[in-house]
Amino acid sequence: MAERPNIPRRPRRKRRTYNVRLVRRDLSYEIREIAELFSLHPQAVRRWQQRGLTPIDERRPLLFHGSEIIRFLSETQQGRKKSVPPGQIYCCACRAPRRPVNGVVEVHRRGRTKLILIGVCPECGTRLNRFGSIAKLPEYGNHFAVREAAPERLPARCDAVDKCHLAKETEHA
Ligand SMILES: [Zn+2]
């Protein structure tokens, strides 16, 4: 293809997040098929290849294993996400880490080892959720005013927590 140096570059758009769940782990894909899956130009997929997406072998058309596409997208999208500073929890509504109101988090135990820290966003009032482990309770005490929730007050629905968790970085608090 001929170069067209006089055409001004389009301004960089905000990077998209690709839903890896569209990819089937047990299938192999051609570049064209990957492009269709994510509504991309095949050239965009070739750029993924330059950035580390590895074909099964050199035979044409190039084939990419579903598990490799998932690995590539997960890793590149992971690296982009910002980490949450200690003493803060990611707010799904603000899309930013926030210090819970008064630094207070309620601890809801889930089973023997896990827990959820729940606070309130000072900016928007949304519930802040963060997964953690019971072993790290002393550490949370250094950053938050930790309140133990009574067992019967365990949140009945945790899907909001889970969705938020997927949206934010996979941080093991
Ligand atoms: Zn918020």
Residues 105 and 75 both lie in one domain = no
Are the C-beta atoms of residues 115 and 107 closer than 8 Å to each other? yes
Task: Say what the pLDDT of residue 13 is.
Answer: 58
Percentage of the chain modeled with pLDDT above 90: 60
Say how many Å lie between the CA of residue 5 and the centre of ligand 1.
44
The whole-number average pLDDT for the span 77-103 is 85
Tokens of 41: 């130009």
Say how many Å lie between the CA of residue 109 and the centre of ligand 1.
23
Say how many Å lie between the CA of residue 143 and the centre of ligand 1.
19
Say how many Å lie between the CA of residue 102 and the centre of ligand 1.
14
Sheet of 145-148, strands arranged across: 127-133, 114-120, 104-110, 145-148
Say how many Å lie between the CA of residue 120 and the centre of ligand 1.
8
Coil, helix or strand for 80?
A: helix
Structural domain contains residue 75: yes
Say how many Å lie between the CA of residue 7 and the centre of ligand 1.
41
Say how many Å lie between the CA of residue 55 and the centre of ligand 1.
41
The whole-number average pLDDT for the span 54-83 is 87
Are the C-beta atoms of residues 42 and 64 closer than 8 Å to each other? no
Say how many Å lie between the CA of residue 118 and the centre of ligand 1.
13
Q: Is the pLDDT of residue 89 over 90?
A: yes
Say how many Å lie between the CA of residue 155 and the centre of ligand 1.
20
Structural domain contains residue 5: no
The number of distinct structural domains making up the chain is 2
Task: Name the pLDDT band for 61 (thresholds 50, 70, 90).
Answer: very high
pTM above 0.85, yes or no: no
* 46-85 per-residue burial string, b: 16 or more CB within 10 A, e: under 16: eebeeeebebeeeeeebbbbbebbbbbbeeeeeeeeeebe
Residues 31 and 62 both lie in one domain = yes
Q: Is the pLDDT of residue 134 over 70?
A: yes
Structural domain contains residue 145: yes
Residues 95 and 147 both lie in one domain = yes
CATH number for the domain harbouring residue 74? 1.10.10.10
Say how many Å lie between the CA of residue 121 and the centre of ligand 1.
5
Domain holding 72, by residue range, is: 20-80
Percentage of the chain modeled with pLDDT above 70: 76
Say how many Å lie between the CA of residue 92 and the centre of ligand 1.
7
Collect contacts of 60-66 with beta carbons under 8 A, ≥24 apart: 61/30, 61/31, 61/32, 62/30, 62/31, 63/28, 63/29, 63/30, 64/28, 64/29, 64/30, 64/31, 64/34, 65/28, 65/29, 66/23, 66/24, 66/25, 66/26, 66/27, 66/28, 66/29
Residues 156 and 96 both lie in one domain = yes
